[in-house]
Amino acid sequence: MMRVGARTIGRMSGNREYIMITAGRPATLDDVARAAGVSRSTASRVIAGTGFASPVARERVRTAADRLGYVPNTAARALVRGGGVRLLVAVAGTSPAVLDDSYVDQVVSAAARVCAPHGLGVTVQWLPLDAPGLLTRLTADRAVAGLVLVNTTSALLDLVPLRLRGRAVSIGIGSATVPSVDIDNAGGTGSLVRHLYAGGRRRIAMVTGPRWLACADRSVQAYRRLLGDAGLPTREVVGDFSAARGRAAAREVLRRWPDTDAIVGISDATALGVISQLRADSVRVPDDVAVTGFDDIPLASATALTTASHPVRRIATAAATMVLEQRPKPDRTLFPSAPVLRESA
């Protein structure tokens, strides 16, 4: 057996000594139990804080654990408790490039932060829309303690295994069995469209997102509803959230409806693409055509883009927290999206 060495190297805040294992392996519960002169069961009860333990035993175990710098092995604990050891963030999309996105970065990072105190790790995976078996495969690993789905479809949601019911949350669309957390796309887009209308715009076009994406669809629905209520015709061009498609879409809008006086972008990137194309065509923004985005990315404030807020970090934190705490949750949690009025509209 290896030696378990320990040496005091300083003091923590609160004036309790902390320990560094200087040699050998980290201490195990067995080491602690032996050092405290109790059984492993008792030590476990004290450390985990479950079940009975006499004050004397408690004290001795605590001291021994401190002295040895004992930290429970979360993997072993998860194994026996059947709890799993990591949270899976699955991002649906047509190509693995969906992961190269600051949106995904924020979701993953926020999730990792929430998971840290629980000893859970986070993993990201691209989920191709046409290979539904992958989700099943990925979640078959019992090490997966929870699931956060991003940009998912309802077909994908139905494949979430029973084992993960109550431990899965979707950022975006939800289902009967999988609750969802999302930004209020309809509200955000709606307030922007109303703002355009109030500013006198009547020929309002929209560059939408991919059709399969439900959250994009909700923005489009809001746009249609408002224009319909006002008795205005809709003008839609399909985009894909990218600036490049935004440029192309702007060209198409002007070709098909040259008198357009406002363009609603499904995202800030789309809107920025639209603006750059308009500028290239010597169309003045917002004088000739007003443009709005969605997300309020840092670039938006720098470019004075009128947009709607999208607190990604808070949403992701909420999603991860729901998964970890498994608290009784409403089917759908919507975060408000506030209009951010700047110069482009």
Partner DNA sequence: GATTGTGCTGGTAGCGCTTCCAGGTGTGTG
Partner DNA sequence: CACACACCTGGAAGCGCTACCAGCACAATC
Q: Which residues bind DNA (CB under 7 A)?
A: 25, 28-30, 37-42, 44-45, 47-48, 50-57, 70, 72-73, 76-77, 79-82, 142
Residue whose CB is less far from its own copies, 100 or 229: 100
333 belongs to the binding site for its own copies (CB under 8 A): no
User: Rounded to the nearest whole angstrom, what is the least distance from the CB of residue 321 to DNA in the complex?
Assistant: 22
User: Rounded to the nearest whole angstrom, what is the least distance from the CB of residue 165 to DNA in the complex?
Assistant: 17
35 belongs to the binding site for its own copies (CB under 8 A): no
Query: CA-CA distance, 204 to 213, in Å (whole number)?
Result: 22
Strand partners, 88: 123, 147
CA dist 104 → 181, 316, 321, 343 (Å): 15, 10, 17, 28
Amino acid present at 26: P
309 belongs to the binding site for its own copies (CB under 8 A): no
Q: How many residues bind its own copies (CB under 8 A)?
A: 68
- Within 13 Å and on the Cβ side, how many CA atoms surround 121? 8
- Within 13 Å and on the Cβ side, how many CA atoms surround 235? 21
Cβ burial 162-192 (10 Å sphere, 16+ → b, else e)? eebebbbbbbbbbbeebbbbbbbbbbbbbbb
Which of 131, 198, 231, 328 is close enough to bind its own copies by CB under 8 A?
A: 131
Q: Do 242 and 296 form a contact (C-beta atoms < 8 A)?
A: no
13 belongs to the binding site for its own copies (CB under 8 A): yes
Which of 109, 221, 242, 321 is close enough to bind its own copies by CB under 8 A?
A: 109
Residue 45, binding choice from DNA, its own copies, none, Cβ under 5 to 8 Å by partner class: DNA
Segment near its own copies (CB under 8 A); pick from 5-13, 41-49, 246-254, 332-340: 5-13
User: Rounded to the nearest whole angstrom, what is the least distance from the CB of residue 71 to DNA in the complex?
Assistant: 7
Scan residues 266-285 and list those touching its own copies (CB under 8 A).
272
Scan residues 71-90 and list those touching its own copies (CB under 8 A).
71-76, 78-79, 84-87, 89
Residue whose CB is less far from DNA, 48 or 304: 48
Site string for its own copies, 154-193 (x = CB under 8 A): -----x-xxx------------------------------
**Dihedrals φ, ψ of 281, to 5°?**
-90, 15
Residue 254, binding choice from its own copies, DNA, none, Cβ under 5 to 8 Å by partner class: none
User: Rounded to the nearest whole angstrom, what is the least distance from the CB of residue 315 to DNA in the complex?
Assistant: 32
Q: Which of 136, 170, 124 is nearest to 151 (CA)?
A: 170
- Length of the chain (residues): 345
Q: Can you say whether residue 295 is alpha, beta or left, with left for phi > 0 and alpha for psi between -120 and 50 degrees? A: left
Tokens linked to 328: 């009784």
Residue whose CB is less far from DNA, 25 or 279: 25
Segment near its own copies (CB under 8 A); pick from 11-19, 33-41, 210-218, 327-335: 11-19
Q: Do 287 and 314 form a contact (C-beta atoms < 8 A)?
A: no
